Copies of this chain bind each other. A is one copy, B any other.
Amino acid sequence: MLAFVGLGLYDERSITVEGREVLAEADRVFAEFYTSKLVGTTVADLEDYHGIEIELRDRAGVEQRPGPVLDAAGSGTVAFLTAGDPMVSTTHVDLRLRAHGRGIDTRVVHGTSAATAAAGLTGLQNYRFGKATTLPFPDVHGGVPDSVLDTLSDNADRGLHTLVYLDIRADEDEYMTAATAAGLLADARGDGLGVAVARAGSPGPVVAADRCSALADREFGDPLHLLVIPGDLHHLEAEALRELAGAPTDLVDVD
Contact = CB atoms under 8 A, between A and B. Distances in A.
Contacts of A13: 16-18, 21
Nearest to A130: B131
Contacts of A128: 131
Interface residues of A, number: 64
A21 B129 CA distance: 31
A86 B16 contact: no
Contacts of A170: none
> Which 6 A-B pairs have CB atoms at the shortest separation, nearest pair first?
A87-B120, A110-B112, A13-B18, A13-B17, A113-B116, A85-B116
Interface of A: 4, 6, 8-9, 11-18, 20-21, 84-88, 90, 93-94, 96-97, 100-101, 107-108, 110-113, 115-117, 119-121, 123, 125-134, 154, 158, 160, 165, 200-201, 203, 205, 234, 236-237, 239-240, 243-244
5 contacts: A14-B16, A93-B125, A107-B203, A111-B112, A115-B116
